[in-house]
Chains A and B, each alone.
Chain A
Amino acid sequence: MMKVILSTVTSAAGSGFFHTRLLPLFLALIIVVAFILILAFILKTISDRNKKELYLSDKPPLTYWGTVGLIATYSVLIFWAFIVLWPISQMIISAFNGNQAIYVSVGFKNYDFSFKHFKFLFEETAFVNWVINTIFISVTTALLTVILVSFTGYVYSRFRFKGRKATLMSIMLIQTIPIFAGITAFFTLYELLNDLIPVFSKHMMLILIYTAGGIAGNTFILKGYLDSISTELDDAGKMDGCSNMEIYRLIIMPIAKPMLAIIALWSFIGPFMDFLLPRILLSETKALTLASGLYTLVVDDRSFNQPAFVAGALLIAVPIVFMFIYLQKYLISGLSKGSIKG
């Protein structure tokens, strides 16, 4: 192990990479720092000269070094924004560049705006099938997970029964094993189930695997969430003669709705992003899901077409990105609420 670390460091240092690339970088850094210092000085003097009006802000007035810090902060923030945006913008630019064959070219050199690659995606590949398959799998997984988890979360949060601690502990340990561990059995299991129930398709097998993989972790999240809510409402319901099922339906479900929405969202996104299991289980091109299908456009020799991949990637990334930006608060609160109680 140590050997690997050492060899990584030494060979990187010896490759000439540092001399040719890092020296100019170092010089650039010095210039940037000097620039910031001078800029801060100019700004500070300008603001000092204008300081005739009454000072109204509750923040203390900026000192020279405060100005320097502020400018430095802005530069770091803008720098990172550039690093984030540059590859993504390249992706968008390249998706609409008609002047590409099967390789992507970057920038506006030889640029020709067209929808050629989108057209190719819809006409020459099974993109539409992939979308339909993916949505079928994701939606069913999300629904199944929410139904099963709402029951398990409720039971583990509100009931004390025999075997509770033992099963909870084993659920806890099971969820740490990656789904990957059972990889060899899934295909044979599918064969068995398909023999038993002929309509059982490989897509349904995927749904089962995703759902089963999600139950354990999500039970913990929902249990943690429900634990943080006092049982007063349930008790009141019990007093009024509600059965357990009615408490579940009329009290717990409305309370748990925000959390269940988050669980549904994550169980929906999971199958959306997974390319490993579909690649193992599904063989026909038409049966693939989005992730595994787009992967073939970059890797397989027969269907190799980088620009088409970029176009398809853009099509699925846009809705997901907007969803994330729109729902970021809920996604985060779900993450932290579920886990901290452990």
Chain B
Amino acid sequence: MNKHLYDHLGNRYKRKNVYLLELATLYEQKTEGNAREIQNQIKALKRQKNTHHYVLALRQFKSEERTYRKSFSKSAKNFKGSKFIGKLKLQLEQAKLDLEFYKKYIDLSYDAQLKYETAKVKIAEIPQIIENTEEIESSIEKTLKDKDTWTKDEVEKLKNEFSMYRKDLKDEKKKNIVKVTRNYKEGTISQKAKTAAIDELNRAFKEKLSIKKMESPNKKSNATLSHSRFDLKNVKKKSVNLMSDLIADEKAKIPIENMTNTAAVPFLTALFPGLGQLIYGQKRKAALMTLISLFIYVIAVPYALGYGNYQGNGIRGLITLKGDLRYVSSMIFMIEGILAIFLLVMAIFMIIVNFRNLYRIEVKKRKGIRPNNWHETKSKLFTEGYPFVVTLPAFIIIIFVVLVPIATTILLSFTDRNDLPNKTRFIWNGFQNYADLFAGKVGTAAGPFWNIFGWTIVWTLTSTTLAILIGFALALLLNNNRIKAKKLFRSIYLLPWAVPAFVSILFFRIMFGQGDAGVLRAFLGVDTIIHNANLTRIVLILLQGWLGSAYVFILSTGVLQAVPEDLYEAAYMDGANSWKKLSRITLPIVLFQTMPLLIGQYTFNFNNFSIIYLFNGGGPNLIEKYGIFAGSSDILLSYIYKLTMDRYYFAMGAAVTLVISMIVIFITFIGFRNTKAFKEERL
């Protein structure tokens, strides 16, 4: 209990509430010596609260205020003008009465003072707003009336006039263009000057035309109309906002006194967002927060308990993975369980945020700072809350379409869903899949894992490096300034990237396949490459060299062109030969600039499912080495695809997915931690 009140800037105010002041004084006098005596006095004062003269006065004020409020019930319709002006006039009327009523009680309570000051601001501001609005509204009306007075003939006449003018202008322009062209042909001006002159003429023509257009009264009045309508909207919004700001400023200067104790509010009402705000008198905020309450108690909690699920059983379903109905797949129980957990976590997060919000209000209120009014809450939501409000949709989509599936994959890897397609029931299985995976016994689903892992690494390194070498070599060769037809070469080299990958891969599949079209197979001198594992692998790597080189080529061409010429000149002066120039200037610059994207190419090929799957379906299958679950050119990603989609080994597929995701995330994290952005905390 403090004798003084404070606002948010720390300014001190005297208490107006005499009862509380007396109490505070007593508390302040309390020392070790007179503790008991003062305690008794406090008790006596508290006992007499209902007969205390100030409390009685306050009560009378409250009841009078109530009757005053009841007497005032006019409708906005009684006032002339638009709805907006009607509302303002009503407010003004009320403010005038308020001013008179609350003036009597200024010394009694800060609440009354706040009402008084608010009324004062309104009386000062509203007439100005009304005047401005009416002015614009009347001008709009006038323009509209003027517009109607034009007769058809007059409009027609103006139209003709305009088209005449346009024709004249066009003829003049044509004449000028002819002149310019003649000059060009005679050789007095260059090609560039000619195009520039023609451009200029066109521009002048358009400009003159648009100026003439504005002379037409119709166009003019339309422009004025749209302008004043915009003005009207602006004036309404801005001036009302300004008034609210002024009121909020007054509010900040007038402290609050607490007769009733609300210290328990944050603790008692945190579970029900909206309730606490209502107690603090923030009605509209409370209405908004009630939506959150609805989300928690109508959607999240019942869903977690198993009500309103599709066929699952909330969180319980996640443990049992089955229900009463036989035909319902365990998958549904799992996903609905995960959804339930996500919803519940969101609900708990909201409750925590709500509690912190209420607690902050309570602490401030104790000091004497009033809770925000609706205007302040709204503007806070769109300034401080802006980042959260506008990214919310993106995060909701990420949570439900990315995180939920990932969580499903993680959980799935701990089940025994490794069987026939019609087996819909599965149970928890612990780390069995991981154990199988690392044991890698031949013949099981996990059998080819290590072989495939090895080939994936070889594939990633060789194919990407080949593509980078080809692409970079081409860019370097083409960067020679003695080469002609650079544009043509560049467009051709772009093609492997521009032609959709699945198209070219499938066409190569045809070209290497059996039948008439398998000409490339003939070049390799074998009957078919489909049954030869190593040839398939080599062809795959060459193919990716063909496909990936275009991207690297374009990338390094861009960088090469940006290398400053003077570097080479300086090197030439110092007697550097071509090799030195290449290794000391070109390579470091290009590598530095394209490094992140080249690394991206390695990740891309690590995950390059399409080329493997489309070219030969991961084949040929070597049963004795790879078993029936994968082929000899499969990489990890196509192995997962085959496990899940062809063989229905969902759990094992999930385990493999998790292992490689971990590897990729770890590598990315390490790489990212070393970047400048991360170290400088710039992020």
Would you call A310 and B382 a contact (CB within 8 A)? no
Rounded to whole angstroms, the CA-CA distance of A292 and B325 in the bound complex is: 36
Q: Does A174 contact B (CB under 8 A)?
A: yes
Q: What residues on A are CB-neighbors of B408 within 8 Å?
A: 182, 184-185, 188
Would you call B477 and A324 a contact (CB within 8 A)? no
Check A295/B386 contact, CB under 8 A, given A151-B391, A273-B501.
no
Report the minimum CB–CB distance from A289 to chain B (whole Å). 11
Would you call B482 and A159 a contact (CB within 8 A)? no
Would you call B404 and A185 a contact (CB within 8 A)? yes
**1/0 per position for A216-228, CB-CB distance to B under 8 A?**
1001000000000
Q: Does B180 contact A (CB under 8 A)?
A: no
Tell me the nearest residue of chain A to B385, going by C-beta: A161
Report the minimum CB–CB distance from B185 to chain A (whole Å). 27
Would you call B504 and A87 a contact (CB within 8 A)? yes
Q: Does B165 contact A (CB under 8 A)?
A: no
Rounded to whole angstroms, the CA-CA distance of A180 and B658 in the bound complex is: 11
**When the two chains form the complex, which single residue of B383, B507, B637 contacts A87, counting CB atoms closer than 8 Å?**
B507
Q: What residues on B are CB-neighbors of A73 within 8 Å?
A: 477, 480, 483
Q: What residues on B are CB-neighbors of A154 within 8 Å?
A: 390
Interface size on B, residues (CB 8 A): 117
Rounded to whole angstroms, the CA-CA distance of A130 and B383 in the bound complex is: 45
Rounded to whole angstroms, the CA-CA distance of A106 and B558 in the bound complex is: 36
Tell me the nearest residue of chain A to B597, going by C-beta: A339
Tell me the nearest residue of chain A to B549, going by C-beta: A80
Would you call A243 and B555 a contact (CB within 8 A)? no
**When the two chains form the complex, which single residue of B470, B498, B550, B640 contacts A180, counting CB atoms closer than 8 Å?**
B640
Rounded to whole angstroms, the CA-CA distance of A293 and B382 in the bound complex is: 47
Would you call A84 and B480 a contact (CB within 8 A)? no
Check A184/B409 contact, CB under 8 A, given A104-B517, A212-B397, A342-B675.
yes
Would you call B397 and A243 a contact (CB within 8 A)? no
B473-488 with Cβ < 8 A to chain A: 473-474, 477-478, 480-483
Q: What residues on A are CB-neighbors of B502 within 8 Å?
A: 273, 275, 291, 294-295
Q: Does B661 contact A (CB under 8 A)?
A: yes
One of A48-56, A258-266, A327-335 contacting the partner? A327-335
**1/0 per position for A146-187, CB-CB distance to B under 8 A?**
001101101100010100110111011110111011111110
List chain B positions with a Cβ less than 8 A from chain A. Answer: 310, 329, 331-332, 335-336, 339, 382-384, 386-388, 390-391, 393-395, 397-398, 400-406, 408-409, 412, 450-451, 453-455, 457-458, 470, 473-474, 477-478, 480-483, 489-504, 506-511, 515-517, 519, 523-526, 532, 534-535, 537-538, 546, 550, 554-555, 558-559, 593-594, 596-597, 600, 603, 607, 609-610, 613-614, 637, 640-641, 644-645, 650, 653-654, 657, 661, 664-665, 668-669, 672, 675-677, 683
Rounded to whole angstroms, the CA-CA distance of A164 and B395 in the bound complex is: 13
Would you call A155 and B458 a contact (CB within 8 A)? no
Q: What residues on B are CB-neighbors of A276 within 8 Å?
A: 609-610, 613, 641
Rounded to whole angstroms, the CA-CA distance of A15 and B401 in the bound complex is: 49
Report the minimum CB–CB distance from B130 to chain A (whole Å). 23
Would you call A159 and B537 a contact (CB within 8 A)? no
Report the minimum CB–CB distance from B487 to chain A (whole Å). 10
Would you call A313 and B507 a contact (CB within 8 A)? yes
Rounded to whole angstroms, the CA-CA distance of A333 and B499 in the bound complex is: 20
Q: What residues on A are CB-neighbors of B398 within 8 Å?
A: 171, 174, 212, 215-216
Would you call B477 and A77 a contact (CB within 8 A)? yes
Tell me the nearest residue of chain B to A211, going by C-beta: B397
Would you call A81 and B493 a contact (CB within 8 A)? yes
Would you call B405 and A181 a contact (CB within 8 A)? yes
Would you call B478 and A328 a contact (CB within 8 A)? no
**When the two chains form the complex, which single residue of A20, A244, A328, A332 contacts B386, counting CB atoms closer than 8 Å?**
A244
Prevailing SS type, chain A contact patch = helix
**1/0 per position for A102-122, CB-CB distance to B under 8 A?**
011111000000000000000
Q: Which 7 A-B pairs have the closest CB atoms?
A: A182-B405, A1-B454, A324-B498, A212-B401, A185-B405, A185-B408, A105-B516
**When the two chains form the complex, which single residue of B481, B493, B534 contacts A59, counting CB atoms closer than 8 Å?**
B481
Would you call B454 and A155 a contact (CB within 8 A)? no
**When the two chains form the complex, which single residue of A171, A212, A341 contacts B677, counting CB atoms closer than 8 Å?**
A341
Rounded to whole angstroms, the CA-CA distance of A340 and B591 in the bound complex is: 12
Would you call A313 and B506 a contact (CB within 8 A)? yes
Rounded to whole angstroms, the CA-CA distance of A21 and B526 in the bound complex is: 11
Q: What residues on A are CB-neighbors of B555 within 8 Å?
A: 332, 335-336
Report the minimum CB–CB distance from B337 to chain A (whole Å). 12
Q: Does A267 contact B (CB under 8 A)?
A: no
Rounded to whole angstroms, the CA-CA distance of A11 and B404 in the bound complex is: 46
Choose among A16, A84, A310 the residue with the greatest number of B CB atoms under 10 Å from its CB: A84
Would you call A3 and B387 a contact (CB within 8 A)? no
Other A-B pairs, 10, CB within 8 Å; known A188-B408, A336-B594 = A7-B534, A8-B534, A15-B534, A74-B483, A80-B470, A104-B515, A155-B387, A185-B405, A245-B386, A342-B676
Would you call B335 and A188 a contact (CB within 8 A)? yes
Q: Does A321 contact B (CB under 8 A)?
A: yes
Choose among B386, B451, B559, B661 the residue with the greatest number of A CB atoms under 10 Å from its CB: B386
Tell me the nearest residue of chain B to A85, going by C-beta: B492
Would you call A183 and B496 a contact (CB within 8 A)? no
Rounded to whole angstroms, the CA-CA distance of A174 and B661 in the bound complex is: 10
Rounded to whole angstroms, the CA-CA distance of A291 and B502 in the bound complex is: 7
Would you call B593 and A185 a contact (CB within 8 A)? no
Report the minimum CB–CB distance from B286 to chain A (whole Å). 24
Would you call B409 and A185 a contact (CB within 8 A)? yes
Interface size on A, residues (CB 8 A): 112
Q: What residues on B are CB-neighbors of A87 within 8 Å?
A: 504, 507-508, 511
What are 6 inter-chain pairs, A to B, with CB distance below 8 A?
Answer: A5-B458, A17-B525, A184-B644, A212-B398, A213-B401, A340-B596
Q: What residues on B are CB-neighbors of A88 within 8 Å?
A: 495, 499, 504
Would you call A336 and B507 a contact (CB within 8 A)? no
Tell me the nearest residue of chain A to B455, going by C-beta: A4
Q: Does A280 contact B (CB under 8 A)?
A: yes
A1-54 with Cβ < 8 A to chain B: 1-5, 7-8, 11-12, 15-17, 20-21
Q: What residues on B are CB-neighbors of A250 within 8 Å?
A: none
Would you call A84 and B492 a contact (CB within 8 A)? yes
Tell me the nearest residue of chain A to B238, going by C-beta: A241
Would you call A189 and B405 a contact (CB within 8 A)? yes
Q: What residues on B are CB-neighbors of A291 within 8 Å?
A: 500, 502
Q: What residues on B are CB-neighbors of A275 within 8 Å?
A: 502, 610, 614
Check A280/B645 contact, CB under 8 A, given A21-B524, A87-B507.
yes
Q: What residues on B are CB-neighbors of A211 within 8 Å?
A: 397, 401
Choose among A7, A83, A87, A184 the residue with the greatest number of B CB atoms under 10 Å from its CB: A184
Would you call A310 and B507 a contact (CB within 8 A)? yes
Rounded to whole angstroms, the CA-CA distance of A263 and B637 in the bound complex is: 26
Q: Does A195 contact B (CB under 8 A)?
A: yes
Tell me the nearest residue of chain B to A335, going by C-beta: B597
Q: What residues on A are CB-neighbors of B640 within 8 Å?
A: 180
Q: What residues on B are CB-neighbors of A233 within 8 Å?
A: none
Tell me the nearest residue of chain A to B383, going by C-beta: A244
Q: What residues on B are CB-neighbors of A21 within 8 Å?
A: 523-525
Would you call A17 and B524 a contact (CB within 8 A)? yes
Q: Does A129 contact B (CB under 8 A)?
A: no
Rounded to whole angstroms, the CA-CA distance of A16 and B383 in the bound complex is: 74
Tell me the nearest residue of chain A to B508, going by C-beta: A87
Q: Does A287 contact B (CB under 8 A)?
A: no
Q: What residues on A are CB-neighbors of B661 within 8 Å?
A: 176-178, 181
Q: Does A316 contact B (CB under 8 A)?
A: yes
Tell me the nearest residue of chain B to A195, going by C-beta: B310
Tell me the nearest residue of chain A to B482, going by C-beta: A70
Check A188/B331 contact, CB under 8 A, given A148-B397, A317-B500.
yes
Q: What residues on B are CB-neighbors of A152 within 8 Å?
A: 390-391, 394
Would you call B331 and A176 a contact (CB within 8 A)? no
Check A4/B458 contact, CB under 8 A, given A328-B554, A335-B597.
yes
Q: What residues on B are CB-neighbors of A172 within 8 Å?
A: 668, 672
Report the minimum CB–CB distance from B411 to chain A (whole Å). 10
Report the minimum CB–CB distance from A106 to chain B (whole Å). 5
Report the minimum CB–CB distance from B207 to chain A (whole Å). 23
A233-285 with Cβ < 8 A to chain B: 243-245, 248, 272-273, 275-276, 280
